[in-house]
Structure 1
């Protein structure tokens, strides 16, 4: 069975709290969703705000290879004839190959939201679709609150679908708008809808549009597909109002890889991971590392027994091949790790380390000691690689710290603090003594260190710090607690993470910064060799 995937990240997804996109961001996402093989991309509601109008205007100059761009709107206002309704006119002005409109399926909404009679609602559903039908290639009807409406008044709910069919809708998307429907309620409702369509002699496709307020949106979508729904509507990463929408990054691989259905997106499913991350980056939201399929932890292995088994046969602890969705397998280093984990890392880093090498015992011992102090290397692999290389006697330090001082001065309460860092370090016996001002102590220390090293290592100019995180490890000690600092850095080719731990936040930051710079210099040295 061929499944259509309909993405509404740009409309329904942007209703999520703290999820905001510019017009340019939306166009970038549209292009990426097209590369992924999405069948329909809902760009927004052109009659609702100027940004949506601008998006659709700019999209007229953008050619999509596969996806059909869809404008979204509501049935006409009861007081307006269809050809005079501003909302319907705005949909046509968007000039998209597809239009999706929603109408009321639940009699409570007809009475309390629209404040019209039930028969009047049936009329505006048919009128709206019939007006749009001659002007658009694909016409989709979203039956809002369908499952709640069915449970409250099934005959009327089905009648709304009948009017949509008469109006010319090619797809009827059944929406669980409140997200309260549980999986066991889905089958009898969809079976009745299929029976109704047969009675009507209709060939309209059935779609499903689940929300996640009961944490069942993905399950409901998959159940809908198993019952014959041939269109799934959802969002990348499950973004949406309240608790979100059906998460397409979980639904797509399940439908393609596990249920065996065909879809255009199945040809490009290896772009799923990068698509997920792109949308998070453009929305300036953190990646959910625990997300199935596309999370950083989705194929991460920590326990030594697990690692050993996965190295022999990945199927022992992985339900699909991670590369299938563009993800990778990760072997984590922790105090639970045995030699299997360390050996896996040695291969990854290109290190000639044998299981009986004395350095192996040294690495495992040092790892356990450091993690007992609060270090963690699961999110700081660059620091762990340096640890391994030091234990093996490979050069990992390209400069020696002689000392540093950080001063933070607050001269006036209505002015920003003045932060200065002074550092003394040496490279091959040559001492450098520099000072720099910065936006806070860590920035000042980072700038001062680079200033001291740049004449020895010019390529440090291309390195930048992109993220800085601090976590308190022992809250019972209040402001005297130990902290762990994670620093993310990158250059033109690579991104890496380092860690530091201390009771002093500046000291912990220095440790992470020192590892970050040494890792960069180590990489550059390897390239020369």
Structure 2
């Protein structure tokens, strides 16, 4: 089994992504998660750049990490100074980490235009920076900035920059595709040539501007790189960094590399991926390979029929290897085998062939009207129960009324919902409630009417509410709408859907399904 080092820069390079901002507490929590997962190196940030990163390196010393080595990040010293005089290098030493990574110029164009110095002066800066750091720090890595572009334009000078770092004591030379423009063949060829030229350990740091960061990282490994840098979920500036959530399983499952001592660690990959997005307050990328919700989701009837016989017909690995799971999606593309499989997943008995065909026909009619059950499996389960006689009514709906009042003297409107219903014991309930908007008022009135009879509904909260205008039917404000609601309790989350030309009515259907699903899920109706 071959070995390779994984170097995570989510806490530094990842935070340069648009819409990403991590607090000090966020960074410490993610560090713990990455360490528990088995990441070899975690780049904590730039101690000289801001107080938050400086404080991170103070607090991380008290954290007992199991596997990870913390790295501080900075640059070679500034022109006109000696290495020991540079405040940036001093801050790196003061961070007291076991590892330091610094970047330096390797493209002669940057040396002239950005630094405004001669090529030889840049070589001295690189060498002296490493000599200074190596006298204080155990491991020092060189992020060779814009290396591939520099090598393409002036290969001799680019290699001289690497040799200067080696002369200074660099432990690994990380070739950076900083603008993300290289293609895999270029990365493989250049990495191969560089490895022969310098004879030192090589790493790869790829950006994703040409959508090749993962492929480029793998090609560098195939060419001899022993360290891969990247971020969880590919977070990073512009189009992002190389995505470790794809690189790690590709290395371990496809290229036979030993990464974390055992294959069991890989089963935590999806959890790590989702954890980072939650902490960063970002939506999880549904279509992300390996760890996304859609990575092992099957919608077409022929696909579902095939995976029921053997999952490898349409799955390149077993999803459980990366902590994911197979999902069967319900849509108008579904066949009877898809419905049967999904019903089994949900623990619902669908009946024989005739009943299955009837449900399939109903499903296709509903989707033609605008319903979508892929994100609303709770509504799908209720639909099957209604069609197969397994549904129990939680209450009898008699009517509702919505009133919205707005005056020129008030900044917001007043919304009131009135609901009339009959409970299973025959009691007639007539309630009213206010809310921030008409749907919120409707939700409050519905809960007010039912919570006394079903106290467990107090645990239900609404996590997401989406409205989609449907293109079929009327135009503009007269178009039909689809409302998707995600609800949850202490144990799980579920999605429901409603469709109507009226957004309030569509919301009502989704809200009622959400409440009724909770009662069916917990078998609360059976207790009444």
Both proteins in one fold, TM over 0.5: yes
Instruction: Provide the C-alpha distance between the structure 2 equivalents of 1:355 and 1:310, rounded to a whole number of angstroms.
Output: 21
Aligned to 1:505: 503
Aligned to 2:435: 438
SS in 1 for 2:523: helix
Instruction: Provide the C-alpha distance between the structure 1 equivalents of 2:294 and 2:346, rounded to a whole number of angstroms.
Output: 20
Structure 1 residue 364 corresponds to structure 2 residue 374: no
After TM superposition, give the deviation of residue 483 of structure 1 in Å. 0.9
Aligned equivalent of 1:412, options 408, 417, 423: 408
After TM superposition, give the deviation of residue 57 of structure 1 in Å. 2.0
Q: Please list the CA deviations of residues 381-407 of structure 1 after superposition, one character each: whole Å capped at 9, or x if unmatched.
A: 111011111111012431122111222
Structure 1 residue 31 corresponds to structure 2 residue 23: no
Q: Are the counterparts in 2 of residues 299 and 328 from structure 1 also a CA contact under 8 Å?
A: yes
Q: Are the counterparts in 2 of residues 7 and 234 from structure 1 also a CA contact under 8 Å?
A: yes
Aligned to 1:263: 259
Structure 1 residue 304 corresponds to structure 2 residue 287: no
Aligned equivalent of 2:329, options 312, 327, 332: 332
Structure 1 residue 380 corresponds to structure 2 residue 376: yes
Aligned equivalent of 2:423, options 427, 446, 450: 427
After TM superposition, give the deviation of residue 346 of structure 1 in Å. 1.8
For residues 392-403 of structure 1, what are the structure 2 equivalents within 5 Å? 392-403=388-399
User: Judging changes above 3 Å, is the alpha-carbon distance between structure 1 residues 146 and 422 closer, same or farther for their aligned structure 2 residues?
Assistant: same
User: Judging changes above 3 Å, is the alpha-carbon distance between structure 1 residues 165 and 74 closer, same or farther for their aligned structure 2 residues?
Assistant: same
After TM superposition, give the deviation of residue 238 of structure 1 in Å. 0.9
Aligned to 2:246: 250
Instruction: Provide the C-alpha distance between the structure 2 equivalents of 1:396 and 1:20, rounded to a whole number of angstroms.
Output: 47
Aligned equivalent of 2:478, options 466, 480, 504: 480
Q: Please list the CA deviations of residues 314-370 of structure 1 after superposition, one character each: whole Å capped at 9, or x if unmatched.
A: 0000001111111110011111111111111121122233443x4322211211111
Structure 1: gaps of 5 or more residues: 199-203
For residues 44-83 of structure 1, what are the structure 2 equivalents within 5 Å? 44-83=45-84
After TM superposition, give the deviation of residue 413 of structure 1 in Å. 6.2
Q: Are the counterparts in 1 of residues 351 and 388 from structure 2 also a CA contact under 8 Å?
A: no
Q: Please list the CA deviations of residues 251-293 of structure 1 after superposition, one character each: whole Å capped at 9, or x if unmatched.
A: 1111110111111175411111111111112222222211111
Q: Are the counterparts in 1 of residues 39 and 67 from structure 2 also a CA contact under 8 Å?
A: yes
Aligned to 1:129: 130
Q: Are the counterparts in 1 of residues 233 and 273 from structure 2 also a CA contact under 8 Å?
A: yes
Q: Please list the CA deviations of residues 70-122 of structure 1 after superposition, one character each: whole Å capped at 9, or x if unmatched.
A: 11101111222222211111112222221111000101111111111111111
SS in 1 for 2:210: coil
Instruction: Provide the C-alpha distance between the structure 2 equivalents of 1:408 and 1:61, rounded to a whole number of angstroms.
Output: 56
SS in 2 for 1:213: coil
What RMSD in Å do the two structures reach over aligned CA positions? 1.6
Aligned to 1:158: 159
Q: Are the counterparts in 2 of residues 386 and 396 from structure 1 also a CA contact under 8 Å?
A: no
After TM superposition, give the deviation of residue 126 of structure 1 in Å. 1.1
- The number of residues matched between the two structures is 523
Instruction: Provide the C-alpha distance between the structure 2 equivalents of 1:419 and 1:528, rounded to a whole number of angstroms.
Output: 34
Instruction: Provide the C-alpha distance between the structure 2 equivalents of 1:391 and 1:315, rounded to a whole number of angstroms.
Output: 33
After TM superposition, give the deviation of residue 374 of structure 1 in Å. 0.4
Instruction: Provide the C-alpha distance between the structure 1 equivalents of 2:223 and 2:333, rounded to a whole number of angstroms.
Output: 44
Aligned to 1:201: none
Instruction: Provide the C-alpha distance between the structure 2 equivalents of 1:416 and 1:478, rounded to a whole number of angstroms.
Output: 25
User: Judging changes above 3 Å, is the alpha-carbon distance between structure 1 residues 413 and 21 closer, same or farther for their aligned structure 2 residues?
Assistant: farther
Aligned to 2:141: 140
SS in 1 for 2:181: coil
Instruction: Provide the C-alpha distance between the structure 1 equivalents of 2:356 and 2:259, rounded to a whole number of angstroms.
Output: 48
Instruction: Provide the C-alpha distance between the structure 1 equivalents of 2:395 and 2:514, rounded to a whole number of angstroms.
Output: 13
Q: TM-score, structure 1 length as denominator? A: 0.96
